[in-house]
Amino acid sequence: MKKRNQTKNTTADINQERPSLQEILFLKALNSSYRLLVNYGARRIKELDVTMAQAYMLLFLAYHSDMTLEEISKELLLAKSAIHLTLHQLVKGGYLEKVPDLHDKRMFHFKMLEKGSALLPIFYKTIRDMNNRALSVLTDAEQKTFLSLLDKVNQQIKAEYKDK
């Protein structure tokens, strides 16, 4: 019988690798807040026949019109395959139009159609309601501080993500 070359972790090694309780609670709080907001938003747009991912994509394109799949993927830090599926569903549903690039026929831009634009006021109201519910426990000053700190953390994560 051959002996396997196994490395046994000691309790000290495991404890050294283990995240602190504060680190765990930070991730739990972020995850919980995200899930609660997504569930609230999903319930609000349920009757519109679009998913939260599709609603988010329409909102994104309302602020960043005429982008290609590659540009959207880069900006949102999401895989092209996931974005492609969402865009395909929105084109198929008549919310977006897929327009060939004038200079490169392999590239396509995505343009909002009237059906997609018609949903934007509902999405805007939903976002305002979500923000009001989530932030109502904070004073105006606390909200500004919270959003500033959250933006700072997001910028750090985004910078590290782009470096890899």
The answer, yes or no, to whether residue 105 has pLDDT greater than 90, is: no
Looking up residue 110, the CATH number of its domain turns out to be: 1.10.10.10
**88 is a domain residue:** yes
What local confidence, expressed as pLDDT, does residue 110 receive? 93
* Number of residues written out for the chain: 164
**9 is a domain residue:** no
CA angle, corner 95, sides to 93 and 98, nearest 5?
A: 95
**47 is a domain residue:** yes
Domain holding 109, by residue range, is: 24-163
pLDDT in tens, 58-87: 999 999 988 999 999 988 888 999 999 999
Percent above pLDDT 90 for the chain: 47
**16 is a domain residue:** no
Percent above pLDDT 70 for the chain: 88
**143 is a domain residue:** yes
